[in-house]
Amino acid sequence: MAQPPVCDYEGSDYQTRFWRGQGREYEDRVERLALRRLMPPAGTNLIDVGAGFGRLADEFDRYQRVVLFDFSRSLLREAQNHLGGDPRFLYVAGNWYEMPFVSGLFDTLVQVRTIHHAANVPALFRELARIARPAGCYVLEFANKHNLKAILRYWLGRQAWSPFALEPVEFVELNFDFHPRWIRRQLQAAGFTPGRALAVSFFRLPLLKSIVPTGLLVALDRLVQPAGRWWPLTPSLFIRSLAAPAGPVASPGAFFACPRCHAPLGEVQAGRLVCPNPACGRHWRVDNGLYDFKEPARE
């Protein structure tokens, strides 16, 4: 069966075009606040799904091993250059529908500002559930179609799609908004138990950000974020879920697995990880600290 399309930021200037010096300090700070409130403060293995250039990497300083996972090699190289030689970080390029990890590995999974590019959310959730440890924590941020602006635009006839309909809306190719109830249903179907939710970016208005000090907006956002439980009308929502309490646990020392057949991979040899499954046998590149699972290497 053909894989869903994947949005590729290879070679993009995403960091400088969208974040650095682009007036999004407020968004960055309130998202970090929500993340700290929802994820366990420390742990063994954490994966940042769609980590890009590593914007949030400094939030994971109490984890023993952190995987920055993205489809873009170039963004991961930016993260690698920024974070230097910190041995806790692993830089892994791959397709999130075919995760290159053994089952039951991660005690914490984080995904912020990336699921809006997922054409097949149920398939992604199933793969994340596979690599999560039993009762592992999954903190997800998603673009909320049921936000106040979308509701007003719909009522005023300025928007064709309904913010009340549960199905996702693709407003630009491979850019989706999601209804909170739909997200919860898909999490449950994949085996997660959705829990606490936070509403984030209440004050994401250019005019407001230009006239009100950022620190004050962040403080106000902090106060009202818990309203996400009963007033999920902001453009951004965070939700914490727990993986199923029973399931496989990764064996000690096991980490990478072939993304095609899930056979555990051994040590790196001559810049390659080689699948030991005779029916598969694919080779995967390891280049200057970047584990590359985007496509198999030529033998």
Q: Label each residue of 146-170 as H, E or C.
A: CCHHHHHHHHCCCCCCCCCCCCCEE
pLDDT of 58 strictly over 70: yes
How far is 60 from 64, CA to CA, in rounded Å?
A: 9
How far is 299 from 297, CA to CA, in rounded Å?
A: 6
Q: Who contacts 187 (Cβ-Cβ below 8 Å, separation ≥6)?
A: 125, 138, 140, 193, 194, 239, 241
pLDDT of 2 strictly over 80: no
pLDDT of 245 strictly over 90: yes
The pLDDT-based confidence of 299 (bands split at 50, 70, 90) is: low
Q: What percent of the chain has pLDDT over 70?
A: 99
How far is 200 from 221, CA to CA, in rounded Å?
A: 7
Confidence (pLDDT) at 18: 87
Confidence (pLDDT) at 47: 98
Are 261 and 279 in contact by the 8 Å Cβ rule? The answer is: yes
Confidence (pLDDT) at 84: 82
Q: What is the mean pLDDT of residues 78-86?
A: 91
The pLDDT-based confidence of 19 (bands split at 50, 70, 90) is: confident
pTM of the prediction? Answer: 0.96
Taking alpha carbons only, the member of 91, 11, 6 closest to residue 47 is 91
The pLDDT-based confidence of 85 (bands split at 50, 70, 90) is: confident
DSSP type of residue 251: P
Average pLDDT over all residues of the chain: 95
Confidence (pLDDT) at 276: 96
pLDDT of 251 strictly over 80: yes
- Among 108-117, 211-220, 223-232, name the one with the lowest average pLDDT: 223-232
The pLDDT-based confidence of 221 (bands split at 50, 70, 90) is: very high
Confidence (pLDDT) at 231: 81
Confidence (pLDDT) at 1: 59
Q: Both tokens of residue 81?
A: 């250059």
More confident residue, 155 or 22: 155
Question: Per residue in 126-167, pLDDT tens?
Answer: 999 999 999 999 999 999 999 999 999 999 999 999 999 999
Taking alpha carbons only, the member of 46, 50, 48, 47 closest to residue 6 is 50
Q: What is the mean pLDDT of residues 163-172?
A: 96
∠290-295-296 over CA atoms, to 5°? 90
How far is 228 from 234, CA to CA, in rounded Å?
A: 8
